[in-house]
Amino acid sequence: MPSGYTAYHFSHPAGPVSPSCPLSLCGLPVRHVAMDRKVAVPEDGPPVVSWLPEEGEKLDQEGEDQVKDRGQWTNKMEFVLSVAGEIIGLGNVWRFPYLCYKNGGGAFFIPYFIFFFTCGIPVFFLEVALGQYTSQGSVTAWRKICPLLQGIGLASVVIESYLNIYYIIILAWALFYLFSSFTSELPWTTCTNTWNTEHCMDFLNHSGARTATSSENFTSPVMEFWERRVLGITSGIHDLGALRWELALCLLLAWLICYFCIWKGVKTTGKGTATPPRKPKGDRVAPSAPLPLSCGLPQVWMDAGTQIFFSFAICQGCLTALGSYNKYHNNCYRDSIALCFLNSATSFAAGFVVFSILGFMAQEQGLPISEVAESGPGLAFIAFPKAVTMMPLSQLWSCLFFIMLIFLGLDSQFVCVECLVTASMDMFPSQLRKSGRRELLILAIAVFCYLAGLFLVTEGGMYIFQLFDYYASSGICLLFLAMFEVICISWVYGADRFYDNIEDMIGYRPWPLVKISWLFLTPGLCLATFLFSLSQYTPLKYNNIYVYPPWGYSIGWFLALSSMICVPLFVIITLLKTRGSFKKRLRQLTTPDPSLPQPKQHLYLDGGTSQDCGPSPTKEGLIVGEKETHL
C-alpha cells in the first residue's frame, strides 16, 4: 500500500445484520462496495475493504455545496432566553407605564387582562407551536399548513423588515448618550454648551421659579441636547438636511455587534442575554391625581389590545422562527404561558420603577406628574436623562441606564434579524443552507438595513422614524394579521386537528379556553378593535404640533398596507396559479402539506390497554386518518 494512506479494515459482524450499517460492515457481497474502495477477498474470512482517500479528501465527504441541517437549540434555556429577550424590550419600560397612567391606572388592568387571556396567550402559543410542529420559519410554516393563506407569513416578514430598519435607530441614540455620559459633567445639565440657545434655562437652578410665562418661552437643556445636539432636527420631513455622522457611526457599531452575535446560527443567537431592567435610584412615588374609571371607553380597550400585541411580539414571525428550532417533543405550551406571565410581570415592575423616578422629578421641580410623564423616546431620552442629573453620581446612573436600554434593545434586534434569516433560508434551502451562505445572508441584510437606516439619522430623520413607528408596525397591522392567523388555524386547518398535533408533541391537550379563544374570542376581539382603530384614526403629528404633508401620510399608509395586502394578494395569486375548478383549487390550497408530522394513532386492545400504532397515514396513504378542514 502506498505510503501516506490509511487502510481501514472491517470485520464481519457476529450478530444479526443491522439495516442501518454500511454494506461492507454487514458482510454483503463485495460488489456492493463503491468503486473508489480497494477490496481484498481472502480465501478464508470476511472481505477486507481498504479506503484510499485522495489527498485533501475529507473523511466525512462533506462538500461546500452540501445542504446543511437547520439545527436546533442546544438546550431549553437558549430558547427561553431568546424569546424573553425578544418580548421583554423597550416597550415594557417606556410604553406600558404611560398607558397605565393615561387610562386610569388600575382601570386599565381590566381590558389588559381580558386581552392577555383571550388574545395574548392563545396567539403567542399558536405561533410557537406552529414553528415547533412544522420546523419552519414564518413563510414556509404557513405555506405548509395552508397554501392559500401563505401571505400571512409574507406579511410578517414585511413587518419584520421594517423593524430591522428603524428599531435599531434607538440603539444608535442610546449609544450616543452612553458615550456622552463619560464626561466630568453631563452635557445636558447646563446651558453653557455651543448648541444651547438664549431660550435655554438651567432647571436645576430655577426649579422653584418657574411660571407660566417661563415654561412657554424657555426650554430645558435636556430638550435642547436631544433636539439640537443629537438629532439636529429640521423644520419638517421635506428638509432631511445633512447626515449626522456621529449617529451614523453609532448605528454602524450597533449593526456590527448584532452581526457578530448571530452570524453562526441559533447556537450563537441563544447565547444572547435577556437583561431585566435595573432600578435607578429614586425611592419616592408621587401620588397622581385620581382619574375617572375608564375601562368602558373604547380607546382604553384599543390601547390594551395593541399593547398586548406589541409587547408579545405577535404577528411578527419571531415566535414561529424561534419555535422552529425546538425539539419536536418540547413542552411549548408550558413555555408559552410562563413567558407571557414573565413579560407582563416585567411590565408591572417597570411601571413601579418609572413612576418612582417621575414622581421624584415632579416633587423636586414642584410640577404635577402629568407634565413629566411621557411615553416612547421622550421618556428614555428626555425624562430619564433629566432625572439622573438630580441624583448623586449622575454619570454613573446615566451609564447604567443607557447600558440597560442597549441590552434591552440588542436582544430584541438579534431576534428580528434571526427571524428574517430563518424565513429566507427555509424558503430557499438549496441556495442558502450551505457552507458560508448564512454569514453572507446576514451580512447582506445588515448592509441593506444600515444603508436604509442612514435616512433615519439625517437631520430630518426623526420625522421618518415616526412614520415607521406609527404605520409600519402599528396595532392595525398586527390586529389584521392576528385575525387571519387564528381563522387559518381554527377554521381552515381545524382547531381539533391542531390540538391533535399539539398532543402528539407535548403529550396532552391544552386548556379548552385556548381552543375557544382561537375559534371565537380572539377573532371577535381583534375584529372589533381593528374596526374601532380605523374609525378613530387620527393622523400622525410630531410632538402633537407638526402636521405632515399629504405625501408624508401617503408614505405612512404605504408602509401599513404593504404588509396587510400580502394576505389577499397571495390568495388571488395562488388561486390563479392552481389549475382545476374553483372548488378543486380551493380544496387543494387548504390541504396541509403531507410531509408534516402526523399524530400517532392508538389501537385499543381487549382489557382497555392501548398499543402505539405509529403515525396515521398521510395523504398518499390508503386511509385518511386526519380530520377534514372546515372548508
DSSP secondary-structure letter at 81?
Answer: H
Residue 180 has pLDDT above 60, yes or no: yes
CA proximity to 389, closest of 414, 357, 418, 355: 357
How far apart CA 374 and CA 203 sit, in angstroms, is 18
CA proximity to 383, closest of 98, 134, 165, 158: 98
Residue predicted with more confidence, 611 or 33: 611
Angle at alpha carbon of residue 346, lines to 345 and 347, rounded to 5°: 90
Q: Report the Cα 63 to chain-centroid distance in Å.
A: 33
In this predicted structure, what is the pLDDT of residue 508?
96
Residue 523 has pLDDT above 80, yes or no: yes
Q: Residues 307-321: what's their mean pLDDT?
A: 94
Sequence-distant (6+) residues with CB within 8 A of 375 are: 94, 95, 98, 99, 102
Please write the tens of the pLDDT for every residue from 105-117: 778 899 999 999 9
Residue predicted with more confidence, 447 or 629: 447
Residue 334 has pLDDT above 50, yes or no: yes
Backbone angles phi, psi at 505, to 5 degrees: -80, -45
Residue 356 — pLDDT band, cuts 50, 70, 90?
confident
Known binding-site residue numbers for Na(+) = 85, 92, 311, 343, 408, 411-412
In this predicted structure, what is the pLDDT of residue 30?
41
In this predicted structure, what is the pLDDT of residue 106?
77
Return the SS3 of 551.
Answer: helix
Strands (DSSP E) found in 413-572: 541-542, 546-547
Residue 267 has pLDDT above 90, yes or no: no
CA proximity to 133, closest of 338, 313, 339, 319: 319
- The amino acid at 571: V
In this predicted structure, what is the pLDDT of residue 20?
44
In this predicted structure, what is the pLDDT of residue 533?
87
Q: Residues 128-136: what's their mean pLDDT?
A: 97
Residue 473 — pLDDT band, cuts 50, 70, 90?
confident
Report the run of H or E that residue 611 belongs to, with start and end: strand 610-615
Residue predicted with more confidence, 123 or 296: 123
* Choice among 21-35, 142-156, 258-272 with the minimum mean pLDDT: 21-35
How far apart CA 356 and CA 349 sit, in angstroms, is 11
Taking the complete model, does pTM exceed 0.95, yes or no?
no
**Sign of the torsion angle spanned by Cα atoms 378, 381, 383, 384:** positive
How far apart CA 306 and CA 299 sit, in angstroms, is 11
CATH topology (fold) of 76-572: Amino acid/polyamine transporter I (1.20.1740)
CATH 1.20.1740 occupies which residues in the chain? 76-572
DSSP secondary-structure letter at 218?
Answer: -
Q: Residues 120-141: what's their mean pLDDT?
A: 97
Q: Residues 129-152: what's their mean pLDDT?
A: 96
CA proximity to 13, closest of 1, 29, 2, 24: 24
Cα 346 to Cα 87, 93, 213, 350, 368: the distances in Å are: 10, 9, 40, 6, 26
Residue 449 — pLDDT band, cuts 50, 70, 90?
very high
Residue 5 has pLDDT above 50, yes or no: no
Q: Per the structure block, which three cell numbers stand in for 539?
A: 393622523
- The amino acid at 125: F
Known binding-site residue numbers = 85, 92, 311, 343, 408, 411-412
Residue 258 — pLDDT band, cuts 50, 70, 90?
very high
Sequence-distant (6+) residues with CB within 8 A of 613 are: 600, 601, 602, 603
In this predicted structure, what is the pLDDT of residue 65?
61
Q: What's the per-residue H, E or C state across 291-359?
A: CCCCCCCHHHHHHHHHHHHHHCCCCCCHHHHHHCCCCCCCCHHHHHHHHHHHHHHHHHHHHHHHHHHHH
- The amino acid at 75: N
Buried-exposed string 279-290: b where 16+ CB fall within 10 A, e elsewhere: bbbbeeebebee
- Yes or no: say if 395 and 183 are a contact pair by the CB < 8 Å rule: yes
Residue predicted with more confidence, 7 or 407: 407
* Choice among 62-71, 529-538, 543-552, 582-591 with the minimum mean pLDDT: 62-71
DSSP secondary-structure letter at 179?
Answer: H
Residue 181 has pLDDT above 90, yes or no: yes
Return the SS3 of 530.
Answer: helix
Residues 510, 511, 513, 519, Cα dihedral to 10°: 20
Residue 259 has pLDDT above 80, yes or no: yes
Report the run of H or E that residue 49 belongs to, with start and end: strand 48-51
Percentage of the chain beyond pLDDT 70 is 76
Residue 601 — pLDDT band, cuts 50, 70, 90?
low
Burial of 503 (0-12, 13-18, 19+ CB in 10 A): middle
Residue 164 — pLDDT band, cuts 50, 70, 90?
very high
Residue 344 — pLDDT band, cuts 50, 70, 90?
very high
> What is the overall mean pLDDT for the chain?
81
In this predicted structure, what is the pLDDT of residue 113?
94
In this predicted structure, what is the pLDDT of residue 297?
67
Report the run of H or E that residue 48 belongs to, with start and end: strand 48-51
Cα 191 to Cα 204, 213, 379, 530: the distances in Å are: 11, 19, 21, 46
Cα 576 to Cα 410, 484, 569, 581, 585: the distances in Å are: 42, 21, 11, 11, 9
How far apart CA 386 and CA 603 sit, in angstroms, is 69
Angle at alpha carbon of residue 99, lines to 97 and 100, rounded to 5°: 65
Q: Per the structure block, which three cell numbers stand in for 261?
A: 452575535
